[in-house]
Every structure is written in structure tokens, then in C-alpha cells.
Structure 1
Amino acid sequence: MEAKYRNEGDGVVTTNRGRVEKKQTNKRCCIAVGVIVVLIIAAVIGIIVYFVEFHNKQPESEAVKATTSLPPSQPPPGPVQAAGQRVDCLIDQVVKTETECKQRGCSWDPNAADDGDKCSLYQSADVGYKMSAQTTNDSITLLELSWDGEKRSLFSKVEDIINNIKLEIKELNDNTLQVTFTDANNPDRYKVPIPLNIPAFSAKPKLYETLWSKNGDKFSLKITRKSDNTVLFDASVADLVMENQYLSLSTKPPSKNVYGFGENLHKSFKHQFKKAETWAMFARDQPPGQDSKQHYDNLYGVHNFYVCIENSGNAHGVFLLNSNAQDVTLTSGPMITYRTIGGILDFFVFTGPTPMNVVQQYTALIGRPYMPPYWALGFQLCRYGYKNTSDIKAAVERTRAAGIPHDIQYADIDYMDARKDFTIDPVNFADLPEYFKELRANHSMKTIIILDPALSIQDGYQIYPQGKQKNIFIKWPSDNSSAICDECADEENNMLGYVWPDNRTVFPDFFKDSTKQIWKEWIVNQSRELEFDGLWIRPGEPFWNLKCDMSHSLENPPYKTKACHIYADELRNISDKTLCMVAVQGENDEYNHYDVHNLYGWSQTLPTLVALREAVGNNKRGMVVTRSTFPGSGQHAGHWLGDNSANWQHLRESVIGMLEFNLFGIPYVGADICGFFGNTTSQLCKRWMQVGAFYPYSRNHNGIGYIDYYLVYIVGLYPSIYCRTTTLVYIVGHDPGSFADRSVAELSKSSLETRYRLLPYLYTLFYKANTYGDVVVSSLQFQWPNDDAVLDISEQFMWGDAILFSPILYENQTRVEVYLPEGRWYDYYTKAAVDNIGKQHINITVDSNSEIPIHIRGGRIIPTKHSALTTTQSRQTPFTLMVALDSNDEASGELFWDDGESIDTTTSSCLVKLLQQISM
């Protein structure tokens, strides 16, 4: 490995050749007013008591706050960084004051336009980590960094500063490198225990070059693209911070065309970098919000990965592998600041150079997406609030009567006895097993049931003692000093809390082999009583309610991440709505929940898939869908975007979520069609069904208590199901067959029929995702990264590189603006070519009964089949080809085909290359 010095402005850096990188009080002496005030006070006290008991609010004596020891410091005269490139010293505070800023030894700028720029970390050339030594070989560079100068800390005690850092830069291959910051004096410090597919070293010429500061100089690091010297990863813009419970690094991306980070609710696919925005990353049972503050909440999973499209049209990606609670702050610089409260800083940089290359390189590392069975691409129907099997039957029958394709029917938690896993309600759902068999035998349909990880400790429920015997549950630390209430632990020191079942519950620890084995046994035994084809798991964040000892540093870390700023402006605890952070997990209790919280859903997914496949047998793939995800989850499961609401905003944002999860390596994704919370409307549900028909995971689902008895069928509308009568009929649900407005069912039917015709193409896209790491749903940015007109588009999406969808996403919308990039395009419905050749905005007039605009890209061949009520029936129809010629009168395409459900079909499948060329 050859090293050399290179001058960059006034600084000197070392380069390793071949390596790149947010009163009026009107008192009245009136008895009536006094009574009202007393009543209000009583109500407030009652609410407070409720939250104390059930929402993890601690008694004052228990909520002992950790103290922060900060050395006295004379604040510097002012910030030295430009606006938008400052690191916020008061990022953990809702209200920022000059006094507190100066107490932290930071620079105060009262005139800063952006609130995130007012109090900033003072960057000193003489204080911080400096390069002290380096060692290199063919593919690995080891750099030693040591703290130099006066020690100061924003959030921790000064003694918590990590004095010596080992920086390891690994060239993994020609397009990927790893940059890891660890504690040189503590090699056993927690690291994320997920398997990665680290590529073998390649001697191919590298696309990147890595530059770092020379010995004795303050630390800086840059990774550049060799072909044009674009700086992809610039860590010289702000000080590196490494403390026991606070780690921070800032980087400067080469453009503001950044996509990714999650799981959050983003208003646009492209991040804006207009003001400081901080996105929380800590898995929570946090439904998507609707106001501006809730948009920054973390939702159910954690994906610290982004793709950046550079000004040249090239693309790169950056992934931070860290499973502790963390934040990402984007400022106008542009600058990206990472903050986490544990573990190490382990970055991977993917140099593309195309956006698709970046995702391929990322999924090569974390694991390729799983191949869903063909039937999993069919339409799915669910409801939380089916009162009995008859409710499920009615939903299925009215869907079929409307001619709406329907492949999969769900049973939510309602089917269980007292919400206990592996049980069936003996009164309301005793006939569910027979009905599921009937759906399979008579209608070629599939069934899915829900399983929750939380298991009841109720007397007589055999799952609990079986699990105790195998020692599978998450525990308090061995000394039990943190269990602050008698009801929080059982005799084996298992952690107890409350969630869905009526009694207290325990959580299985899926880091244990014994847990995986007994979980499989329970699922297989359940399948013998109630046959199913897939499993739906949640709440794997995990979601729980119990009391935690707030005097412990793991429960009350010195830095309050954005995840603690929930419930409006109130600062809460990191353990709210989940397990206590001191909980121990692993074969030998080697992990604290503090470190592996974000991995719970990930850890449950593979054992569930393994168990499912044994339960269904016959070498079938089965299907698992999960709510909580982490990088790598897409290898084993799909994901739905959580408990959204029935409103137009969430309809629009579902498109963004779908695009983002394709970046994250989880392309089998979709939102609850028509919304989970709230009462939908016929117009909203109609438009949502039109969009949801083209989610990879297409499921209509809603919550309990909404439109429970919605007026729908008028006399004789569907005489095959409902007898003619002079009375009106009321039913449960907001499935598409349940509306008095018949256009909901009619447009749902036509949109889903279009989907079913196109399923051979969609299935082929999943094959390419599984084999090569391609996205299934693509943004326009991915296909035309050099076209500035597409960089901000959030409301159009594509299947692969051939089919463009421009949905109707606004209430009472009468016009859809469609951008057609370069090339020839065809209207899907009329098959007519669009006038002119691409790079144009066209306006399409729509009315209440219009289909959503769909266009086919010239030069593509799309395999299709006839639509039917199920995929089983559709697969039996002949293939047809839709040939869309480009301006050269040429077209090509692919078709992957197998039996649609076997695990390994390499010897019984085929991949057909399609080519059409017309010679004039």
C-alpha cells in the first residue's frame, strides 16, 4: 500500500492510493366557576395517574436523573463555521437559550436564521483527536487517533471521553470500503451482531481514493471518486466526538440530492437541506403522525442508509451500521451529522457509479431481498375488529361478488383466545380452521394469521411455563437491582410488562437458540389446528409498558436522542413504550437491550420464516411480513408501513415510504390501503385502492372501531348475497366491496385487474432483486439521474424501468401533471404513443371515475397474463407480450418463471430473454 502526501488548500493530508470516501386570568369569585376548576383539576390528576400506571411514567422518587459533569469553560467569541455547517450544541433541548449554550462552552449566534445554527460546537484547531500513527498493507489501513488538548464534553462526564481511537479503513472491493472508529483500549466494546456478506478482497482498480491528515495534525478524512475527484465522504467539516454514551461525526455530501434514512415519515422523497432537520432512529410503536413535529418521529424500524446523486449524475451511498438509539441531522451546508449513544461508528461507502449499482452493492453486503411466492403478489384483505368468522366470510364474499381479485385473507388478533398467541377463540372463531380450509379448497385462496412476540403469563396458558423451562425470555440483570417493582419480575428474573393480553407478559429472546427452537415448535403445532400460508408479526419494536429505574445510566443516558422528544414538546424517556434498557439478552446475557433494541424485529424474523416453512412443508417459501425492520430484514420478510391514518397526506407519503424501502433492500412493501386509523371516505378509498393496487405488497387493512357499521348496500344491489328487502343492510369494514358508492368497487376491480395482468413482469422484478439486488419499485431519479427535472419528484414511481405510474393523490383532483423523461412513451390503456419524444410535462384531465395514468416506456417488452379472481387461476392463462418499440423500433425484456412457490427452483425455472427488432 503506497502512501503519499497531498496539499489541499492550507492543509496537508495523507492519501492511500487506490482508496476512496435538525393572562389572562379572569378570576371570578363564583361558586360555579370554582366547581368547574375543581372538576378540571380532578380530571387532570386522573389522567396523570393513568399515565403513571400504564405509560412508564415514574414516581418522583424513582425518576432520579443522571447528572452531567461539565468542566467550566469560557465560551469562545463566536462561531467559526458557516451557517448550515454548524454542529448544534443544544440539539437535545426543545428551547435553546444563550445561557445554557455558554454553559456548555459553545458559540452563540442570536442572529442565526436557522434555530439549529444558534448554538454551535466551537471547532478548535488545537483541541480534538489528532493522528498519532498509521499502519498499512494491501487493503487495510490502521490509523491511531489520540485526544489532544483540554477535555470538554457536551453530554457526558469528562472521564467518559474515549482517549484513543483505532480507525480502520478497509478496501472491500473496487466499489465498497469500510471505515470503522473503535475504542483502541476496549476491543470488546459492543458491535452490531448481524451477519454481513463481506466481499473478498479484489485487486481490480478502485473507483475511490482515501485521504487523511498526516501524523500530528488534527483528524480529517475524505473519500473521493477517482474519475472526477468528487468528494463523497468528507469528515473534516466538524470535530469527531467519541464518548462512552455519545458518539458523533459530521460529513459533507457533494450535493443535496440525498434519498433515504428511515424509518420516518418524509414529506418528500428527496431531503431538502433547507433548515436543520433531525430524524430519530429508534424503533418504536409510533404510528405515522400528521403534524409537522411528528414527521421527525422514528417509526418502527431503523435504516441509517442514504443514496446521493452527485452533480455529475453519478451516485454513491453511505451506511452507518449501529443499532443503538441514534439521530441524523441534515443542515443546509449541506452537512449530515450522525449521533448515537452507544456502540461504534462503522461506516460503509458504496461508490456506484449508478443509483442502481449503489443499492446492488448495499444489498450485496446486508443480504439480497427474499423471493416472495407468486401468490403473495395478489391482493390481500385484513381487518382488526372482525367479531367472528362470519365477519371474515362476509368480507370475502362481498369482495368476490364485486369481481375484485382477492388472493389472501387475514385473521388479526381477534381470532385468539384473550389475545394469547397459539390459541383460538373457542366461541367466536371456533369455525375458523374449517373456513380457512374451505377458502383453500374451493377458491384457491391463501390465509395469514398474526403472531405477537409478547406472551401472556396467565395461569393455565402452557406457553409460559414451557418457555420458562427452556429459559427463553428476556431478563433483568442477574442482581435484579433494576427491577423496581415486585410485579416487574417473576421468580426466574424474567422481565414482566403489559401489552395486548389481559395479564402481564414476557418477551422471548430471539438471540437464543433455545428460543428459535421452541418458537418453531409452537408455530408448527399451531398449524396443525389452524392451517395458514403466511405469518404476520408485530409489535417487534418491541412495544411494552413497565417501570424502569431512571437512576441507571442506560435508562437515562446523558444525551436525549430525538426519540425521547415525543408527545408534542414533552421530553420523555428512551424506555417509554418498550422494554427497560438494562434488560439482558443473548446466550450468555452478553447484550443489554440498550444496545440491541433496534434489532428485536430483525431477530424475530428469520426464526419465524424458518418455523413457517416447516409448518407449511413441501419445500414452500411461505410469506412473513413484519413491522419492525433493520438492515438485512428484507432477506426474510416483507414490510408494511404501519398504522397510518385515513387521510390524503398519508396516501401521498405512502409512495415515498415505498420508494425508500426499495433503497433499504426491502422491496416487498406497502401501506395499509384506505388507512388504518380513522374513517375513510369513498373518494379517498377509491384513490388509495388505485395506488395500492401497485404496491408490491397490496393489502387493504383498517383498525377496530372505524366504520363498524357503515351504510353500504341498498335493496338488491348484490342479490346473490343479500336478499331483496325494504331495509338497508349494514356491514363491518372498509374493504372495497363495502361502499354504497359502487365506483369504489368498480375502480378497485379494474386497477387490480391491471395489476394481475402485469404480475409476470412484477414477479420477474422480484427475481432480479433476489438475484442481483435491483430495486423493484424505482424512482425516476434512479432511471434518469442526469435529468434535473426528476430529482425532486415524489409522486410518480415505476415498476422496474418500464412502467410509469402517476397516481391521483389529492382530494377532488381534476388534473395530473405527468413528467415523461427522455424517450418514447405509450399510454397503457390506449396503447397510443405520446406525442413528441420525452423530457416533457403533460397534463392529464381526470374525473371521479378516472383510472390513474400509466405509461409504458419505449424499448421494453412486458410479459403479461390474463386477470382472474386469484393468482392460481391467472397463472393458468396463456402468456401475452406487450411490445413497446423505442425510436429505433427495438424492444427487449425478460421473463422469469417457475412454479411460483418452491424454495429452490434453480433446476425447474427459466429466465427468458425477449427481443423485438423491426428492420425497415
Structure 2
Amino acid sequence: MQGLYLLLTVLFCTCFGVHRENFRTCDQSSFCKRHRNLPPGNSDYVVQPSTLKLSKTFLTVNVLNTKNNIGFLLHVYGLKDKIFRVKLVEAQPIRHRYEIPIGVTLVAEPDQEELVYNGESDGQLKFSLGDSQMIINTSPLRLDFLINNEPVTSLNAQGLLKFEHTQEKSAEELEKINNLHSSLNSSDSNIDAIKREERPGWFSSRVSSVFSLISQPFRASKEEAEEGADNDAEAENEAEKPAEDDQDEGMWEETFKGFTDSKPNGPVSVGVDVAFPGFRYVYGIPEHADSFALKNTQSTDPYRMYNLDVFEYELYNPMALYGHIPFMVAHNEKHTVGVFFHNAAEGWIDIRSNMADKSVFSNLADFVTGNNDVPQTDTHWIFEDGIIDIFVLMGPEPKDVFRQYGSLTGNTPLPPLWAIAYHQCRWNYNDQDDVRTVDLTMDKFDIPFDVLWLDIEHTDGKKYFTWDVTRFDNSVEMLRNLSSKGRKMVTIVDPHLKRDDNYEKYTQARNQGLLVKNKDGNDFDGWCWPGSSSWPDFLEPQVREWWADQFSLDNYKGSAHNLYVWNDMNEPSVFNSPEITFPKDVRHLSGVENREVHNIYGMLVHQATWDGLLKRSNYKERPFVLTRAFFAGSQRSGAVWTGDNMGEWSHLKMTIPMMLSLNLAGIHFSGADIGGFFKNPDSELIARWYQAAVFQPFFRAHAHIDTKRREPYLLPEEHMVVARDAIKKRYSYLPYWYLLFYLSETTGMPPMRSLWMEFPSETSIFERDDEFMTGNAILVKPVTEEGQTSVSVYFPGNNVIWYDIESYEVYQGQQEKTVQAPLSKLPAFQKGGTIIPRKMRGRRSASLTHNDPITLIVCLDKHGKAEGQVYVDDYHSYEYREGAYALSNLVFHNFKLENNIIHKGNGFTTKEWIERIIVAGVHTDPKNIHLVKADHSKTTLSHTYDGQAKVLTIRKPGVNVAEKWIVNLH
């Protein structure tokens, strides 16, 4: 049966697209439906000012729901760097609601700052935090946040706050549930029987053409599905009927596709509206395969946040994908602000952009007297469980919001150099001979790469931390051969453990009581790649520690120090469960339900894996872990890819907004499978995809097991050359990429940026997501349409000039131009006024380039100036955190290029030197060029000058990059 099951998996993966019916809509999720049906208006929640308690940095005040007389506590904290934190909790809960512990999403307890109380007047409590203000309107409750007295964010302006207090199940509810069970048992006994057998029934709706050949163990025939749809429609009609105390059929128990969610704690959802007055555009809340600027959801489902395994996901759809971050940024020409909702439960977000209803802000006189045509974006945030815990980041500029968010959830640590180079992957390389052949053939065709990957087929029967010895009989030798060329290997380690008494990892976890439980307290048993499986409970520190220990060389037999890890299926994916993941009433060892913590499970998997690789090297070497599932804080311990995309032009185009959204939300080390995971893309698409990915952070090709082999050397000659040139271009820009990741760790700035992050006041680019910036210096407009040989490029920036990165042809800012883009060309442009380091010598891998010389690309602005930085360290260890690095600032001004050392660690040395300086935008050929070193010695340098291109090339200055020096042009 297991073999048939896996065969059907492969058939589904290669022959079918996403089946939306396997995933809930808002109308099929009772808590979402309850909140979404709330009409805007005056809120039932009021503040009781007489209960206000103040400290230097926070306040507490009572809030009353006047509809049911339930009391709540409102806490507001002033945090450093212009951040407000707003928490609303029950005053007298009958159970503890889950709050994410410090160290999971928040890197530490946030530092507090003085919150100044400015008094009460006209039903308002007024506070200030630096130049930011907060006003608490007491009746009804509303919180307004202002920058220099101009409102930028408001909570509960539409009166959609709803906090479902914890309740005991009434006798009436128990009777309803018992009657429902009786009805289900009599009308759908087949479903009940299958659930007892715990078979992988989710395939019935996905591969119905194949299931016509198979009898009962797989459930839900077409007739049963139609009957279920009728039952769902009846339930929805019943839910729409008014009922006492807002009760509906889904509050204490809910059924979806034959699976029943027991909801032992009843209705416990929370929701509130968040308005952004003055803002037409909001961004963020990844992961969705949709535009970068978030869309109105009036005529669609809300954006869903619930980590799910979605095969062949659709584009331009708000449905959930593999990972989620409840962080949204609003931007206009004056301000950038952010909202982070700290909640790990399933969430939905409605968005509506319109002109502001100024009556909402009738008490803010300065705002009311402004222009009546004020844009506003209203959002409605809904979560199934937990508390209201919101961070309001006051900016006011993009760089400020990214720094503020990084201070809360952490920044992306600097990866080892090899990790930002090229990765070659597919499901699966067959055996050691296949690995050797790929390695040798890449060298034969002069295609550099740093990492070769192995998917699930390398294991012994899908038992992770093992090898199939019939195909990988000497993995240590295989790893040693790769290491001799500076290369690494990544193997997949998924979180599900095959339930096999002969599998040591499973028996250890079972015997030590480390496994997630079902609602009855037994080890949860679900289906994934190995068949019957169980899952370690990564919410528990001792379980994460056990998992980390499995990566030691003693425990992971056949591994080596150049082997790194890929965590897939960690949403988690459970083939025979509702929505292909854990049931919501699965229990963790602490007693919390999956519904309370679902979205952090996958993050804790890759955190534990990261910790294991750290321990393996005695905390000296930087790990690399790739994860599919993620949450806020994932950036600290994992790179992310966008999952099971398709080998189609539309999916290539979608990589840009998806990457921009991830980078905005802190997931800086991210990328999409080059060529697409599914299908057999033509060679033109593959070649163009390589080009587009050159300037995206994570650079990996990957493909499904049933796709044709498509290593770059297998492409037709003209496309192979394009792909190879793109890979080599990536390697030449590694010094710039390395600098960007250093800045990512130290400042929170994303390496891949939307245009408005660099040009924040240019309103025409706020919706543009077909081009992007890499750092502050490179503008990229990939070719994303078949047969396209020219592109329309918008060049932003008033008084800015742009240089083609190959020809140095000049383009003026604030205009749209058609640029020729034959197959061999990637349209990319360096901003005038910037200096970029490159390494132009070809190597087989990045690990062999550590001491190679650097070429500086200096592109002058209209005033003949340029500036940039160079960062170097040992490229692999953590010694840079102890100061073992060099950072220099390069400035070109008045025909002089000066290298000033910002930092050079005591005892740190590097052999990297300046081989060449290319200066674009020089209008005269200098007569003499001299190098002046720190000791004042002076050397004449040779040069060439292209008068037509206005490009000066200075040859072999020969000076160390970590020394002070000056190049004078006369």
C-alpha cells in the first residue's frame, strides 16, 4: 500500500495543479467568518480612565466590553527607537493563553524607553515617545499613533476589535455537539471508518482519475464530496441566522472535508482593525504569490497566514503558502511605518484602500483641517487564538523601519561566502557516480558551483540521517572529493520520523517522550514521505537539543564538516490530515494545541538544525540551513526558498514581488528555484531565469524528480553559454553581495529592495514590482517574457544617472526607456555615485577566491563623485564578531579616489589587493595617475581611456584593500 501511495504522490506532483478545495476559505473557517461579518461602527470596548496606572515606560488601564461586561487589561509600552507595543489580554482568564516566549520570535525582551504622559482631555489619554505621539480615545477604545502630530496608524478606528473571551462549554453546546456526532455517524460512516484507519484520504480530491481504480481505503468519492458541499452550505446558512450570544455551529467544534476539529477551548479568536491614514499602499505579510503592493480583498478572501504545504501554488491568490510573517509596512512620500502582530496562530488579513473617512479622526484638529482627499488603507487582522500583541514601528524612513523590526526579531547573520554562490540541486541525484559526473562535467564546461544537493532519495527508506548504501556506499569519500575543490554538500533532513522500530532516531524520540501527541494523548501518527510517521515536538527546548545532537559526526553517520542541511516539509506537511498539516487539536508536550502555535513549528525545526550545525563545529563555523516553513525570526537561523514553483514565465516574473516581500519582512537570505520546480521549461526560460537570479539573494537551481535533467551544461549551446555567463557574473559580484549581507546583519537593510526603499518620495514607483534594487547601487529589470529582446526600464531618481553594467551606457533618472535585451543580456544598471567591488578571476568555487584581487567599479554621479565600501574577513568563521575583519570606505571626489579604513581588527590580515579600478563618467583623459600609500610613498599607475564610453581603466594599483591609500588623477 505504501508503494502505491508514493506512486500516487508522484502522479499528483507531476500531473495536477493546486486543488483549492483542500484548503479552507474564510467562509469555511468559523472564526474568520465571525470577524469578517462584523460591521464597522462604534466599538463595544471602552477604556476606564480612572484605572490608569503609569510607570516611566509603560501604562496599564482597564478596558470593558460593554456588550457582555467582560474586562480586559490594556498594556502599552514605550520601546527604544520609536516603537510602541500594545497588548490586550483578558483581566480574569479561565485558562492561560499562549504567548510566544522570548527567544523564539523576539530575539530578546525589547528595551523600554520613557513614555511621557501628557494628560487627559476630552476623553483622550495623550502620550509621547520622542517625536512620536499616541492618543488613547477612551469611549470607544481607539489608539492613534502620530508623527509630529500627523496620524499614521490607528487601532480600532473602525470598531472591529473582537476578543473572544474564554468560556466553559455549556450543556446546550454539549447537546449540540452530541447531536452533530450522531448525525455524522449515521450519514457518513465511511469517513469515520477511514479516519479510524488513518489512511491518506487527502488524495481522493487530488487524483480522482487515478482513484477510480482503487477501492474504499481512500475516502471521499465525487458523490460524497458533493454531499459534503451540501452539508457545508446548510451549515453556513445556519451560521448566518442570528443566535443568542453570537453563537454559531463552528464555535465549539468544526468539520472540514470529513475531519472534525474538537476545539476543547471553544471560541478564543482575536481581531482588530489597523488603519493607515495618509497611505495608499501597504506591503509585506509574506508569503503569498501575489503583487508586492498588497491588494484590496473586498471581492476575494483575505490574505491568509497559516503555514501549509501547497503543491503547484497559484499566482495572484491570497491563499496561504509555506511560511508567514504578520508584519506589514505602509509607505508614502513622507513616512514609512510598520505593524508587527506577534501571534503564532492562524491569521487572516483583510485590506481595503480608499479615501479616508475623516470623521474617524475628528478629534485631531490638525489632521481635519487638511485636504479632504486623503488616502487611507484599512486593514483587519484576525487570529484564531492567542492575545492581541502589536508592535507599531514609527519609522519614519524605510531604513528606520527595517532597523526597528530587526531590533525586535533579529537580523540575518552573515552567511559563509560559499552559501551565497551557486547551488546545484534536483530531486534527486541518483548515486555517488551521478554526483561525481555532475561535479566533473560542471568543471569540464567551466561552470563554477559551490554546493551540490541531495533530496530524500539519498536516505535509507526516507529515514533521515541515513544513507542508502546501495547508492551511496561511501558518502565520506564523496564529501571529501567535493571538499578538495572547496565545495560543499547539502542533504535534506525533514522533521517527520518514520515509525519503524528499526529506526534509531524514531525509537529514541518515542522512548524519551519527545513526540507530538494527538488529542487523546497518544503519539500522533500521520503520513508523509516514509508513510506512517511521527513528529518531534520542537516547541520543547529539550527536544530541540536532542535534535541538534543528531547532527554530530558520531550521530549522523557518513556525514562530514562540509555537509549542511535542508529542512523541507516543516509546516509540517501531513498527507492524511486536514489541509495537509497537523490537525489543530494536536497536542504539544506543554499542553498547548497546534492551533495556538502552528506557525512557529517550522521555524523551531530549522532553529534546532542550525544549533546542531553550530555544535558540530564547536560554535566556530557559520552554519547553512535552508527552510521552507518560516515565521518572524526565521532570518536568524535559516535561508528560505519559495517552494514548489512552476517552470513557467509567469512564475519567473513572480519571483520579484515574492522576493521583495520576503526581504521587506526580514527574510533576506531567500530565493526561488531557478527554472521552476515543476514542469519542463524550455531552455530560453531557464537561461533567462539564471540571469534574473544573479541579483537575488539565494542562487539555487532545483527541479522535480520527474522533470528532465537540466544541469546548465545540458542546455543547447546558446542557452548554456547564457546560463554559464550568468553564473560567472554572480561569482564576480560576490564581494558586493558579501558586503550587502554584512550590512544586513549590522543595519537590518535588505539586500534586495523595492525601488521606493531607495527613492522613497517618488510616488510613481510605489506599485512597481517588475524591477528591483540590489543594495543601493544596482537596478535590475529581468526579462520575464518569452521571446522578448527589449525591455522598458524605469530609471528612478531626480538628477540621478545610471550606467549599464557591461557597456557603461548612460541613462538619465526619472524616465522610462526601452533597453535592448538580446538573449545574452541581463538589463542591469549601476547607479551613478556608487562604487562596487568585484572579483573578475574565474574559479571553480567561491571557496577558492578568498585571496583573489578586487576590481573596483566606480560610477560617477553628475558632480563627479562616488562612494562605496569593501568588507573582508575569513569568509567562513565567527571571528568577524570578535573584530577580525576589515571595512573600508571608498570616496571618489575632485579626481581623487581615497580608501579610508573604518575598521581593521587587531592582527587581522588579508591578501586581497586592488587589481584594477574602472571609473565610468570621466570626461577627460588624465595625464598622470599616482598612487599614494599611507607611508606617503608615491607610484605612477598605467591606465587606458575610452573617450567614447567615458571610461577610465587604472591597471594594477597593487595595494592591499585593508590599507589606507589614495589614487590621484591629474
Aligning the two structures, in what range does the TM-score lie when normalised by the shorter sequence? 0.7 to 0.9
Partner of 1:136: 54
Q: Hey, what does 1:166 align to over in structure 2? A: 73
| Same amino acid, percent of matched pairs | 26
Deviation of 1:466 (Å): 1.6
Please point out which of 511, 514, 517 is paired with 1:475: 517
- Counterparts of 1:735 and 1:643, CA distance in 2: 18
Is the aligned partner of 1:755 residue 2:739? no
1:417 — aligned with what? 460
Contact 2:538 2:544 in 1 (8 A): yes
SS in 1 for 2:722: helix
Which residue in 2 is equivalent to 1:242? 163
Name the counterpart of 1:656. Answer: 657
Q: Does 1:764 align with 2:739?
A: yes
Q: Counterparts of 1:915 and 1:337 in 2: how far apart (Å)?
A: 47
What per-residue deviation string (whole Å, max 9, x for no partner) do you get for residues 868-889 of structure 1? 2211223332112111111121
Question: In structure 1, how many angstroms separate the alpha carbons of the residues matched to 2:749 and 2:587?
Answer: 38
How far apart, CA to CA, are the structure 2 residues paired with 1:271 and 1:782? 19
Aligned to 1:202: 113
Structure 2 Cα separation of the partners of residues 358 and 510 of structure 1 = 31
Change (3 A) 1:94 1:343: closer
1:816 equivalent among 768, 787, 791 = 791
Aligned-pair CA distance for 1:93: 5.7
Give the aligned partner of residue 299 of structure 1: 321
After superposition, the C-alpha distances for 1:32-67 in whole angstroms (9 at most, x for unaligned) are: xxxxxxxxxxxxxxx9xx99xxxxxxxxxxxxxxxx
CA distance in 2, matches of 1:125, 1:291: 37
Q: 2 CA distance for matches of 1:772 and 1:829?
A: 26
- The one-letter amino acid paired with 2:135 is L
Residue deviations 1:708-751 (CA, integer Å, cap 9, x gap): xxxxxxxxxxxxxxxxxxxxxxxxx1222212x21221111111
C-alpha separation in 1, matches of 2:546 and 2:656? 38
Aligned counterpart in structure 1 of residue 801 of structure 2, from 793, 800, 825: 825
Give the alignment's TM-score, normalised by structure 1.
0.75
Equivalent residue number for residue 264 of structure 1: 288
* 1:172-183 pair list within 5 angstroms: 172-183=79-90
Query: Residues of 1 paired with 2:43 and 2:657: CA distance?
Result: 44
Residue number in structure 2 paired with 1:862 = 836
Q: CA deviation at 1:826?
A: 3.9
* Residues 117-165 of structure 1 deviation map (CA, whole Å, 9 limit, x = unaligned): xxx534554845454642233321222111214x5xxxxxxxxxx8212
Aligned to 1:637: 638
2:347 paired residue among 315, 326, 331: 326
Structure 2 residue 838 is the aligned partner of structure 1 residue 916? no
Structure-to-structure mapping, 1:583-602, within 5 angstroms: 583-586=586-589, 589-602=590-603
What is the deviation of 1:635?
Answer: 0.6
**Superposed counterparts of 1:6-85, under 5 Å:** none
Distance of 2:288 and 2:601 partners within structure 1: 18
Does residue 521 of structure 1 match 2:524?
A: no
- 1:387 corresponds to: 430
1:437 aligns with 2:437: no
* Inter-partner Cα distance in structure 2 for 1:194 and 1:644: 34
Question: Aligned-pair distance for 1:645?
Answer: 0.8
Letter in 2 for 1:92: D
CA distance change for structure 1 residues 432 and 125 in 2, over 3 Å: closer, same or farther?
closer
SS in 1 for 2:163: strand
Structure 2 counterpart of 1:251, from 271, 274, 291 = 274
- Find out whether 1:283 has 2:307 as its counterpart: yes
Distance 1:635 1:319 in 2: 17
- 2:151 paired with 1:230: yes
Q: Which position in structure 1 is the counterpart of 2:775?
A: 800
> What's the counterpart of residue 221 of structure 1?
143
Deviates more, 1:173-182 or 1:534-543: 173-182
- Residue 855 of structure 1 aligns to a residue whose secondary structure is strand
State the shift of 1:630 in Å: 0.7
Q: Deviations over 1:456-514 (max 9, x none)?
A: 1213212222222322111235x54xxxxxxxxxxxx2111110114x11101122233
Matches within 5 A, 1:471-550: 471-477=513-519, 480=521, 493-502=522-531, 504-524=532-552, 525-531=554-560, 532-546=562-576
What is the Cα deviation at residue 91 of structure 1? 5.0
Alpha-carbon distance in structure 2 between the residues aligned to 1:915 and 1:288: 48
Contact 1:191 1:343 in 2 (8 A): yes
Distance 2:892 2:296 in 1: 42
Change (3 A) 1:747 1:825: farther
Counterpart code for 2:760: P
Of 766-775 and 458-467, the range deviating more from structure 2: 458-467
The partner residue of 2:330 within 308, 314, 322 is: 308
Q: Which residue in the other structure is 1:736 paired with?
A: 712
CA–CA distance in 2 between the matches of 1:404 and 1:249? 53
Distance 1:394 1:147 in 2: 69
**Letter matched to residue 844 of structure 2:** L
What CA distance in whole angstroms lies between the structure 2 residues aligned with 1:834 and 1:274?
Answer: 44
Q: After the TM superposition, which of the residue ranges 235-244 and 804-813 deviates more from structure 2?
A: 235-244
Which among 739, 745, 759 is matched to residue 784 of structure 1? 759
Which residue, out of 135, 145, 151, partners 1:211?
A: 135
- Give the counterpart letter for 2:80 in structure 1: N
Query: 2-side partners of 1:508 and 1:355: how far apart?
Result: 39
Q: 1:885 to 1:262 in 2, by over 3 A?
A: same
The 1-side partners of 2:740 and 2:42 are apart by 52
The total of aligned residue pairs comes to: 725
Report the counterpart of residue 189 of structure 1 in structure 2.
97
For the Cα contact (< 8 Å) 1:535–1:625, is it kept in 2?
A: yes
8 Å contact from structure 1 (residues 323, 595) kept in 2:
yes
User: Is the 8 Å Cα contact of residues 142 and 154 (structure 2) preserved in structure 1?
Assistant: no
User: How many Å apart are 1:387 and its aligned residue?
Assistant: 2.5
Cα distance change of structure 1 residues 291 and 614 upon mapping to structure 2, 3 Å threshold: closer
Residues 685-726 of structure 1: CA deviation (Å, up to 9, x unaligned): 11111112222110000011112xxxxxxxxxxxxxxxxxxx
Report the CA distance shift for 1:512/1:128 in structure 2 as closer, same or farther (over 3 A).
closer
Q: Give 3-state SS (helix, strand or coil) of 2:84's partner.
A: strand
8 A Cα contact 1:126 1:148, kept in partner: no
Cα deviation, 1:849-877, whole Å, max 9, x if unaligned, reads 23111111111111111242211223332
Q: C-alpha offsets along residues 395-436 of structure 1, whole Å, 9 cap, x if unaligned?
A: 333322222221111111111011111111011222443222
Residue ranges of structure 2 left out of the alignment (5+ in a row)? 1-7, 13-24, 116-128, 165-266, 355-376, 896-969
Between the aligned partners of 1:918 and 1:419, the Cα distance in structure 2 is 64
- 1 CA distance for matches of 2:533 and 2:302? 34
The 3-state SS of whatever aligns with 1:702 is: coil
SS state at 2:276 partner: coil
Task: Compute the displacement of 1:663 (Å).
Answer: 1.3
How high is the TM-score relative to the length of structure 2? 0.72
Cα distance in 2 between the residues matched to 1:618 and 1:520: 13
Kindly indicate whether the alpha-carbon contact (under 8 Å) linking 1:496 and 1:546 is maintained by their aligned counterparts in 2: no
Unmatched 5+ residue regions in structure 1? Answer: 1-46, 52-89, 96-100, 107-115, 152-161, 481-492, 548-574, 708-732
The 2-side partners of 1:423 and 1:681 are apart by 35
Whether the 8 Å contact between 1:372 and 1:623 is mirrored in structure 2 is: yes
CA distance in 2, matches of 1:764, 1:465: 45
| Partner residue in 2 for 1:695 | 696
Distance 2:110 2:545 in 1: 31
CA contact (8 A) 1:644 1:675 kept: yes
Contact 1:276 / 1:330 at 8 angstroms: preserved in 2?
no
- The superposition leaves residues 219-255 of structure 1 with CA deviations (integer Å, 9 ceiling, x where unpaired) of 22211112x5133234212331111422221122121
- Residue of structure 2 in register with 1:553 after alignment: none
1:92 maps to which residue?
27
Corresponding residue to 1:462 among 494, 504, 526? 504
Once residues 424 and 831 of structure 1 are traced to their aligned partners in structure 2, the CA distance between those partners, rounded to angstroms, is 49
Distance 2:697 2:137 in 1: 47
* Aligned equivalent of 2:686: 685
Task: With a CA cutoff of 8 Å and minimum separation of 6, indicate the structure with the bigger relative contact order.
Answer: 1
How much does 1:267 deviate? 3.1
